[in-house]
A and B are shown apart, each in its own frame.
Chain A
């Protein structure tokens, strides 16, 4: 097929028209919204209306709010809702309708121009990728791998639950890291801010807190299950080793995360905990200084624990989880008695 064939040109032409229509619809979605009290009226809502139509020649352009007025892009965080949701909902609604319309036009044009039935987009995408990388056959082999039926007992789920809780903790942890400040001056108040001001902040923190506790319980339960059933025996010794390392990493997660709120309990638990590490024979003082960054628990300790909690330990955990899963995959699930 030549590049500038009639077929291609027709489809391109229709696409340009459809995109133009979409832009027209979405920009005019603002025009049909009810005007608020006017440009200089209520300061609690930003001026999303058109420029003053009565005094100047009519022009259908949505203007930004005047420079003197605070657009307040963070008001939804501070709880002072200044009408950010209305334009958002409007763009989502009309934008998706526009995209749907573009798709419809493209589909009609395509079937009309090519004189062939429409091929679903998913099939096209899969075909496109498979054409280049030939992954369909190995992927099928991976996905169709037989799993023994006894692996459906509930006690085989414990490890999977632990892994999923790790995912939940990762997501909520990233959300908390957006607002948390790891300095002794700001840590406590930033958590107060999360608990009282941030939308869903207290819920996200509660999920992070309780799922962390649940992860330790599940981790230990999974380990007990493997121990009781004797699944650690040859050829699965390395799986047990990586599992014990994962449990230790989970405990390190707990220990480092406990300091981050920087309240009395956190501070003194860390003081006592690192003191215990300092009682290890031979390497005690080294461990103590490495943990505390100095001889006392200070802001440097907080920075170190934060770095460990959000970067080092997660990376190590993901690495060991991947090896753990790959070994299970390779060897299959151990047969019960």
Chain B
């Protein structure tokens, strides 16, 4: 079961101490929600033109969180090594997600060293920067 044995000095009871902290976090979020509500009164989210299946707009863009994937898909040449570029652009994200999905079984060594921690941190920063760059590129293009 648990691999951690705590002494009573470095723990707090779940209730009320930990719940109280969580409650303050919830209050903070609710304050933000209130600000969003006021902003929604002043400037509603709004709607575009009604959907028209016969009229394709010039720039079709997905939501921002799919924009990086969409940008990869757009920038792949139509034919790579005899395979359709579109297929590659779809398969790459699926393979990436599958890799993320099974990652704990690939990296299963119990390693608590600082060095591996820095490698993971650097890799995460690189991935985040790459995704943000692709998103911005997709947004302005």
Contact = CB atoms under 8 A, between A and B. Distances in A.
A125 interface: no
B91 A233 contact: no
**Interface SS majority for chain A:** helix
A266 B51 CA distance: 8
B124 A233 contact: no
B15 A233 contact: no
B104 A241 contact: yes
Contact of A263 (B41, B47, B94): B47
A277 B15 CA distance: 46
Contacts of A138: none
Nearest to A192: B47
A94 interface: no
B13 A145 contact: yes
Given A206-B37, A235-B3, A279-B86, A269 B13 contact: no
A78 B86 CA distance: 49
Nearest to B107: A233
B29 A263 contact: no
B110 interface: yes
A300 interface: no
B128 A224 contact: yes
B140 interface: no
B38 to A, nearest CB: 7
B12 A149 contact: yes
Contacts of A255: 63, 66
Interface in A220-251: 224, 227-230, 232-237, 240-241, 244, 248, 251
Interface in A261-300: 261-269, 271-273, 276-277, 279-281, 296-297
A143 B13 contact: yes
Contacts of A37: none
A258 interface: yes
Given A272-B60, A337-B117, A151 B90 contact: no
Interface in A192-233: 192, 195, 200, 202-207, 209-211, 213, 216, 224, 227-230, 232-233
A147 B11 contact: yes
A151 to B, nearest CB: 7
Chain B: interface size category: 35 or more
Given A149-B12, A203-B40, A331-B1, A227 B90 contact: no
A12 interface: no
B33 A211 contact: yes
Given A147-B13, A279-B87, A230 B3 contact: no
A165 B4 contact: no
A332 interface: yes
Nearest to B55: A264
A184 interface: yes
A229 B107 CA distance: 13
A146 B65 contact: no
Contacts of A143: 13-15
B47 A272 contact: no
A57 interface: no
Which 10 residue pairs across A and B have the least CB separation, nearest first? A206-B40, A146-B11, A267-B51, A143-B15, A203-B37, A202-B44, A237-B104, A263-B48, A203-B40, A268-B60
30 contacts: A146-B6, A149-B10, A149-B11, A149-B12, A152-B18, A157-B22, A157-B25, A165-B29, A188-B47, A195-B44, A195-B47, A203-B41, A206-B37, A206-B39, A206-B44, A227-B120, A227-B124, A228-B124, A234-B104, A237-B105, A255-B63, A258-B63, A262-B50, A264-B50, A264-B51, A267-B51, A268-B57, A279-B89, A280-B91, A332-B2
Given A157-B25, A202-B40, A279-B89, 15 more contacts: A146-B6, A146-B14, A147-B18, A152-B12, A152-B21, A168-B33, A188-B47, A195-B45, A195-B46, A203-B38, A209-B45, A224-B128, A227-B120, A268-B56, A331-B1
